[in-house]
A and B are shown apart, each in its own frame.
Chain A
């Protein structure tokens, strides 16, 4: 996600290196790819190996409905996120909207809020019968007033859009900024008015960024469990989760997982095709910003629109959670429940969240280094394949990773089962692509002549990696690590399915309490979770031009 934004010199397409690839590098990268590929392949094996009955049963009854539901939601949320994300980016980057700097931050920050926490808040606000808004209206008017329901397709579309658009926002805002002013000026001199220029020149030029953002949203929706479960909208992910946790029907779950992953890979592949045809990044030294669009009398309206988006996605959740948290802290009974549920205390949830995500981030970054080095410094068919394999984690939803690991670990590494390490492993597998992309983009910006200079000055290839390459790409590695940490903190379904008894993370606690209706009790944990996620996000955003 954020690492898509980096647009600088690209050294990877220089002359193909023929200095022999060190076999150590090739083997380590290959092993990483194998580690990532096994859970994926295993799902397909299990799906193919499921009894014909399971397939038949599913095909006769549920698959078409699930497929329809899943595709419909993916399409609607992706469309919604594109519309919201691009228009917000246009407002903050290309118009004279007031308070742009603050809005930029506020529009990006919902990335730190897991969608299911957003859903909890909106549910509490809008739930028919008992929601704050319907209740408030009823108290005023003395009768039930119709309010839109947060449940079902439209509710899910609305809520997910507001927590997914930041992906598109960040990518398109960066693209808007990197766009050369002369491009639009050229269109104007060739007889296009500003609106025509926007649609005929600007937006097409943004397409690579938009496609990447849309893909991220689509894959996230395929993988989304918490929100759709809360809003009672059944998709593949939530169906698999139920098969696994409730009915314990692994063979149906495998079939569903196989189809879901197939779908995700199809998305990934079509994005690759689209991107392959069009990569118009253009960075020139004489960059200057395009002139801002004068909103004029529309300024108040624009302000209200942007403020509305910020409210729904950031301010409302923050205010509600803060209020609940204060309520929880003031109520001794709730307070004691928060701090002593079973034998575990609040600090242990925080600690579990932080260490499992932190270890996952560390492992993912370390594993990404040989893959990145191989792919960037020795670009050929094989290294591309290895790099692609390491990025399929994007396409494997948490529930599927969980299923695959349950099956694999039970069979081959039984001692891992029931330890938190299996949770860490799931995080690494699922979020590896972010680390790989960060490492690759950091390496692409590093001129290979630096490494060659080190070699001619007497360093071996290994010494060069440690003394020159790693120190120089460290910021990129940290960014990748932060991203893995951030997304692992928010991860819900795999954690729920894989955690050993008693291993509670913040995400798990928030979910468990909220699912039981104890919103107030869940609020402090949700608040801490968002706060801990916001720190790496802040670091990541600070790296971007538009947030400096």
Chain B
């Protein structure tokens, strides 16, 4: 079943030259987690706020469970949309206890019902014993979980999460996001999750929507987004691609680092660019090789090498962490991959 439908949504802020959200359309199925990802200023938070009813769209419409909540003629205020939202700064009410924060969205219920729902929610996020505490007595991770419990307590049709982990320390972030994803999947929540972190998006999303400058660049499963990037931007943003120039020939594409055997649906001699991620490249020491090691970054689990081809083109390559080669060494780089590469006409 479709929970959320966005049709041709646009929003421009007063005094701004560009549209924050420009003609975006997508749908979200029941129980699905959609990770909306893009660089800062791409319009992802605005999209979320439009869905929540915290902003009014200029054009386009938003349907929740088939019912229009925002369009040219309709604007349902946020309190009537039945949406749960987790804010970037958590926005816990400082004057209320953890219990009262979680109970805030539960209205028109008896005391007993409220107590049992809040108890259930706090149990779920593992904070049952914290119910009498105030937000300032909690750690960042605990606050995060209270914010989630509060958003989930009224059983919203849709949960919106705006960079919910960005205020947490890096090591805590990984732990909390595993916990949160497990909870969301257990209760089969439908979620729109906004982040600027590609890794987080790949982890959290059943599907990803990549935004840039208000445009929806691509929407699809993490694997589709990664392996079948439809635009150069997506390939660059997800997985940090380098772009190597090439020419379409009979058996594939001729490039500076040799022939890449991949059939392309383009006429011969078309100039193209191939997106190459660090894991697609391999190299060996070779005194007459095609490139030079100009830098090595030790990343713990692996080494990331920066190579410069004779044309000046830069490529990056991962190798195992034990393989340490000197900067300045001449090497022979080549493509080494078992999947097809993303190709864009230049």
The reply to whether B13 and A458 contact each other, CB–CB distance below 8 Å, is no
Type the 1/0 row for A17-28, where 1 means its CB is closer than 8 Å to any CB of B: 111100000000
- Contact with A450, one of B53, B78, B88, B93 (Cβ below 8 angstroms): B93
Chain B residues, CB < 8 A from A19: 53-56
Q: A450-B91, A452-B87 are in contact. Are A458 and B77 (CB under 8 A)?
A: no
- Contact with B89, one of A447, A454, A461 (Cβ below 8 angstroms): A447
Q: Which of B136-164 contact A (CB under 8 A)?
A: 150-151, 154, 160
The reply to whether A456 and B93 contact each other, CB–CB distance below 8 Å, is no
Chain A residues, CB < 8 A from B107: 458
Chain A residues, CB < 8 A from B77: 455, 460-461
**Distance between Cα atoms of A471 and B85 in the complex (Å):** 22
The reply to whether B154 and A18 contact each other, CB–CB distance below 8 Å, is no
**Distance between Cα atoms of A454 and B54 in the complex (Å):** 11
A468 part of interface (Cβ distance < 8 Å)? yes
Q: A452-B85, A453-B87, A457-B105 are in contact. Are A471 and B95 (CB under 8 A)?
A: yes
10 smallest A-B Cβ distances: which pairs?
Answer: A457-B105, A449-B91, A455-B78, A453-B91, A456-B85, A449-B87, A458-B79, A450-B91, A471-B95, A455-B79
Type the 1/0 row for A163-186, where 1 means its CB is closer than 8 Å to any CB of B: 000000000000000000000000
Chain B residues, CB < 8 A from A460: 77, 79
The reply to whether B15 and A16 contact each other, CB–CB distance below 8 Å, is yes
A388 part of interface (Cβ distance < 8 Å)? no
A15 part of interface (Cβ distance < 8 Å)? yes
A94 part of interface (Cβ distance < 8 Å)? no
Chain B residues, CB < 8 A from A452: 52, 54, 78, 85, 87, 91
B203 part of interface (Cβ distance < 8 Å)? no
The count of A-to-B residue pairs whose CB atoms sit within 8 angstroms is 76
Q: A455-B79, A456-B52 are in contact. Are A449 and B88 (CB under 8 A)?
A: yes
User: Could you tell me which A residues sit within 8 Å of B by CB distance?
Assistant: 15-20, 380, 447, 449-450, 452-461, 463, 468, 471-472
Smallest Cβ distance from B82 to chain A, in angstroms?
A: 8
The reply to whether B85 and A453 contact each other, CB–CB distance below 8 Å, is yes
- By beta carbon, the residue of chain A nearest B85 is A456
Q: List 20 A-B contacts (CB under 8 A).
A: A16-B14, A17-B55, A18-B14, A447-B91, A449-B88, A449-B91, A450-B91, A450-B93, A452-B54, A452-B87, A453-B85, A454-B104, A455-B54, A455-B78, A455-B79, A456-B52, A456-B85, A456-B105, A457-B151, A458-B80
B300 part of interface (Cβ distance < 8 Å)? no
Smallest Cβ distance from A1 to chain B, in angstroms?
A: 27
User: Could you tell me which B residues sit within 8 Å of A by CB distance?
Assistant: 13-15, 52-56, 75, 77-81, 83-85, 87-89, 91, 93-95, 104-105, 107, 150-151, 154, 160
User: By CB atoms of chain A within 10 A, which of B56, B84, B93 has the most?
Assistant: B93
- Contact with B55, one of A18, A449, A450, A458 (Cβ below 8 angstroms): A18
Chain B residues, CB < 8 A from A447: 89, 91
Chain A residues, CB < 8 A from B85: 452-453, 456
- By beta carbon, the residue of chain B nearest A453 is B91
The reply to whether B95 and A455 contact each other, CB–CB distance below 8 Å, is no
Smallest Cβ distance from B296 to chain A, in angstroms?
A: 34
Chain B residues, CB < 8 A from A17: 55
Q: A16-B13, A16-B14 are in contact. Are A455 and B91 (CB under 8 A)?
A: no
Smallest Cβ distance from B282 to chain A, in angstroms?
A: 45
- Contact with A456, one of B14, B75, B78, B88 (Cβ below 8 angstroms): B78
Chain A residues, CB < 8 A from B94: 472
Chain B residues, CB < 8 A from A455: 53-54, 77-79
**Distance between Cα atoms of A472 and B96 in the complex (Å):** 10
- By beta carbon, the residue of chain B nearest A11 is B89
Q: A15-B13, A460-B79 are in contact. Are A20 and B56 (CB under 8 A)?
A: yes
- By beta carbon, the residue of chain B nearest A446 is B94
Chain A residues, CB < 8 A from B84: 456-457
Chain A residues, CB < 8 A from B93: 450, 453-454, 468, 472
**Distance between Cα atoms of A458 and B14 in the complex (Å):** 28
Chain B residues, CB < 8 A from A20: 56, 75
Chain A residues, CB < 8 A from B13: 15-16, 18
Smallest Cβ distance from B135 to chain A, in angstroms?
A: 11
Chain B residues, CB < 8 A from A380: 14
Smallest Cβ distance from B163 to chain A, in angstroms?
A: 12
User: By CB atoms of chain B within 10 A, which of A450, A455, A458 has the most?
Assistant: A458
Chain A residues, CB < 8 A from B55: 17-19
Chain B residues, CB < 8 A from A453: 85, 87, 91, 93, 150
The reply to whether A457 and B150 contact each other, CB–CB distance below 8 Å, is yes
5 further A-B contacts with Cβ under 8 Å, apart from A16-B15, A458-B80, A472-B95, are A18-B14, A19-B53, A456-B54, A456-B81, A456-B151
- By beta carbon, the residue of chain A nearest B20 is A15
- By beta carbon, the residue of chain A nearest B81 is A456
Chain B residues, CB < 8 A from A472: 93-95
**Distance between Cα atoms of A16 and B54 in the complex (Å):** 12
The reply to whether B91 and A459 contact each other, CB–CB distance below 8 Å, is no
- By beta carbon, the residue of chain B nearest A459 is B79
Q: A453-B91, A472-B94, A472-B95 are in contact. Are A458 and B154 (CB under 8 A)?
A: yes
Chain B residues, CB < 8 A from A15: 13
User: By CB atoms of chain A within 10 A, which of B14, B55, B75, B77 has the most?
Assistant: B77
**Distance between Cα atoms of A159 and B91 in the complex (Å):** 50
Smallest Cβ distance from B2 to chain A, in angstroms?
A: 21
**Distance between Cα atoms of A452 and B107 in the complex (Å):** 17
- By beta carbon, the residue of chain B nearest A455 is B78
**Distance between Cα atoms of A450 and B80 in the complex (Å):** 17
**Distance between Cα atoms of A450 and B81 in the complex (Å):** 17
Chain A residues, CB < 8 A from B150: 453, 457
**Distance between Cα atoms of A458 and B103 in the complex (Å):** 12
Chain B residues, CB < 8 A from A459: 79
**Distance between Cα atoms of A344 and B85 in the complex (Å):** 62
**Distance between Cα atoms of A270 and B151 in the complex (Å):** 48
**Distance between Cα atoms of A458 and B15 in the complex (Å):** 31
Chain B residues, CB < 8 A from A450: 91, 93
